[in-house]
Amino acid sequence: IRYEATAALPALPQPLVRSLRRLRVRLCAMAPRSAPRSRPVAPGLLALAGLVASLVYLGSLGPAYSVKGVWQGQPTTLKDTVKGDFGSVMEGLEPKVSFPPIAYHREGVALSVEDGRLNADYTAKLDEDTMLQLRVNDEQEWRASLRGEDASLRVRGQGANLDSLSWEAAQSSSVEDVGDVKVEFNSDKEYNLTVVREMLARIAGAELDAKVRATNAGVTGRLGARRELPGGVEASYSVENPVGVYDLASSTHRGRLSAAVAGGEAVLQVEGDASSQAYEGSYVRDLQGGRAGVRLSHKDGALGYNVSYARDFDGVLDGDAGVHVGIDEDGVYGKVTASREVGQGLGADYEASARFETGEERRLQLQHALKLSNKLGYAQLAHGSGEAPRLRVGYEFN
């Protein structure tokens, strides 16, 4: 949320103007103090109502704040409220207010207040392609940058202390018969030189690409090939060595085959080096208004699988709803979601999920939650296997 002050603000009531003048920049870092349990609830409710009313008035001038509060606990806690003890609930519902940054811009110069800190910015266009930007704050931290079409320089420091000075520079270009070249280096004497060639060559119908990167730790390179085979099959392969390791046995090989099959897409992937390999095959397609998928994998000696079906019922039912069911190596799972408007600006959301683990410890896990909400707040009741029901009440508006 951003509010920019200009010279044409709407007139405010004088009592409100006098109140605003007493505010300080540090208000944006203030946090509300916890209320003692013995404090009467009526003054707290009146203060909350007054704050909400004043902020709603300010909101008519434009978005300039954020207010929120939340309380969570077991429903049995509300028994205390019947006895007149609202302390535990009010402590969570006390408003936490975030005030906006305020900025003034004019002809490349800007003054702003963000998170209780004053910043001064200066921006200038040195030539057609180069921009200069400078920022200084009230703690004498500063940073400057020069950005051009193919080069950049960023410098930061603390006051006039040269020991705190640090910088980063980068330049990129496209070199004929070489590729796209980018060099990066900084004040810590670290460098990164990258050369990318999207189309290295075409051999036997296969397109080759290459990427080489040099750093302080060594060089890494990647060579890739891709080709379209008969029947709509696409094949790709790449090999890449770790940084500073030039043993081919340590290089990572990746292969992929994909094809359109029976209205869906089938994919086979292989990845690994000389010591270990991983395999994965998958097939997905649209089915009865939803999405069905099958996945099989083998990695580190373990077999994995997942068969699932997901469908949204938006437009079919009165509201939005969806279902997702499946089975994998850990067991059977499912999830149902539904939401709709119940009138008077009130919305209802429901979510239920279940998983039955088929391992040595066979167990059933259930979770479900119901949430009612409007523009100002919400209440949610959640419950899961092996845990007590949880009630969550909160509000947030801006």
Question: CB count, 10 Å around CB of 127?
Answer: 7
One-letter identity of residue 248:
L
- The answer to whether 308 touches 292, Cβ cutoff 8 Å, is yes
Looking at residue 107, the DSSP 8-state letter turns out to be T
Number of H helices, E strands in the chain: 4, 26
One-letter identity of residue 370:
L
The token pair at 156 is: 């930061």
In the three-class reduction of DSSP (H, G, I as helix; E, B as strand; rest coil), residue 49 is classed as helix
Nearby residues of 373 by Cβ (< 8 Å), 6 or more positions away: 346, 347, 349, 379
Which class for 93: exposed (0-12), middle (13-18), buried (19 or more C-beta within 10 A)?
A: buried
Residue with tokens 């390999």: 277
Pairing mode, strands 377-384 and 363-373: antiparallel
**What pTM value is reported for the model?**
0.68
Cα 289 to Cα 286, 316, 340: the distances in Å are 7, 11, 21
- The answer to whether 99 touches 27, Cβ cutoff 8 Å, is yes
In the three-class reduction of DSSP (H, G, I as helix; E, B as strand; rest coil), residue 148 is classed as coil
One-letter identity of residue 386:
G
The token pair at 195 is: 């050369």
Q: Shortest CA distance to 294 belongs to which of 330, 321, 268?
A: 268
Any long-range contacts for 57-62 (C-beta under 8 Å, 24+ apart)?
57/16, 59/398, 61/9, 61/10, 62/3
Per-residue pLDDT of the chain (398 residues; tens, 9 = 90+): 333 333 333 344 454 444 444 443 333 334 444 444 444 444 444 444 444 444 444 444 444 556 677 777 776 666 666 666 666 666 666 777 676 778 888 888 999 988 778 999 999 999 888 999 999 999 999 999 999 999 999 999 999 888 889 999 999 999 998 999 999 999 999 999 999 999 999 999 999 999 999 999 999 999 999 999 998 999 999 999 999 999 989 999 999 999 999 999 999 999 999 999 999 999 999 999 999 999 999 999 999 999 999 999 887 777 899 999 999 999 999 999 999 998 888 999 999 999 999 888 889 999 999 999 998 889 999 999 988 899 888 887 66
Cα 61 to Cα 4, 9, 12, 24, 93: the distances in Å are 11, 9, 10, 20, 26
Distance, CA of 1 to chain centre: 17
